A and B are shown apart, each in its own frame.
Chain A
Amino acid sequence: SYEVTQPLSVSVALGQTARITCGGNNIGSKNVHWYQQKPGQAPVVVIYRDSNRPSGIPERFSGSNSGNTATLTISRAQAGDEADYYCQVWDSSTAWKVFGTGTKVTVL
């Protein structure tokens, strides 16, 4: 089955840029989605299909996907961005959904 990997943690200084990666074999050929999950809450999608932001998500959140790596970028990081972030892909060959291992973002 398809596997995606993420760094366990990413730290970013307040107001700086955080980049969270999601690695997988030829992931650039798949749609990648990103969820933010704060403690005790359900996940919320912040980027869908590589680079699209749902309404209500700040422009500070952006995404890209190429080759074997997809990236979620948080610009001008705020304290409220501290959360776990998960990437997710859909394996079209099997119709399975696969979540990444998750990355804890800390804003210093």
Chain B
Amino acid sequence: QVQLQESGPGLVKPSGTLSLTCAVSGGSISSNYWWSWVRQPPGKGLEWIGEIYHSGSANYNPSLKSRVSISVDKSKNQFSLKLSSVTAADTAVYYCARVFVDYCDFWGQGTLVTVSS
């Protein structure tokens, strides 16, 4: 069974860049799935950030598109998220997930990222 694990700094300064990595185990990132990032601000709902295919093709939430970049590293079986020019509004639990056609069937446990000086 596939497992996903997020990692990265838990604290990012305002105007900085948030960087997270999702390690995939129990399956190949080069298989026929998309790989997604979803976030959840404290006490709020889920927000889709974007997704990537192993070919490098990506889709992004239009509200974040100017600040987001998702990349894939097939040699390490992982994919990554970069979110630039962060503010306190970007404080959230960030989840990575596997996409089965059009929904997320496996999720990481999530990692809290706080934007604060």
A residues bordering B, Cβ < 8 Å?
1, 31, 33, 35, 37, 42-45, 48-49, 54, 84, 86, 88, 90, 94-102
Within 8 A of A (CB), among B70-117: 95, 99-100, 102-105, 107-110
Q: Which of B62, B103, B107 contacts A90 (CB 8 A)?
A: B103
Q: Which residues of B contact A48 (CB under 8 A)?
A: 100, 103, 105
Question: In the docked arrangement, what's the CA distance between A35 and B107, Å?
Answer: 11
> Would you call the interface of chain A mostly helix, strand, loop, or mixed?
strand
- Write the nearest CB–CB distance from B104 to chain A, whole angstroms: 7
Contact yes or no, A33 B102, CB < 8 A:
yes
Q: Which partner residue on chain B sits nearest A48 by CB separation?
A: B103
- Write the nearest CB–CB distance from A87 to chain B, whole angstroms: 10
Contact yes or no, B104 A43, CB < 8 A:
yes
Q: How large is the interface on B (under 10, 10 to 19, 20 to 34, 35 or more residues)?
A: 20 to 34
- Write the nearest CB–CB distance from A43 to chain B, whole angstroms: 6
Known contacts A33-B102, A90-B103, A97-B36: does B48 contact A42 (CB below 8 Å)?
A: no
Name 10 extra pairs, CB < 8 A, besides A33-B103, A48-B103, A86-B46: A42-B95, A42-B107, A43-B104, A45-B104, A86-B45, A96-B48, A96-B59, A96-B62, A97-B51, A97-B103
Q: Which residues of A contact B36 (CB under 8 A)?
A: 97
Contact yes or no, A42 B46, CB < 8 A:
no
Q: Which residues of A contact B46 (CB under 8 A)?
A: 35, 37, 43, 86, 88, 99, 102
Q: Which partner residue on chain B sits nearest A43 by CB separation?
A: B107
Question: In the docked arrangement, what's the CA distance between A39 and B109, Å?
Answer: 12
Contact yes or no, A99 B105, CB < 8 A:
no
Question: In the docked arrangement, what's the CA distance between A102 and B47, Å?
Answer: 11
Q: Which residues of B contact A97 (CB under 8 A)?
A: 36, 48, 51, 99, 102-103
Question: In the docked arrangement, what's the CA distance between A96 and B102, Å?
Answer: 9
Question: In the docked arrangement, what's the CA distance between A96 and B99, Å?
Answer: 12
Any A CB within 8 A of the CB of B15:
no
Q: Which residues of A contact B66 (CB under 8 A)?
A: none
Any A CB within 8 A of the CB of B25:
no
Question: In the docked arrangement, what's the CA distance between A100 and B47, Å?
Answer: 9
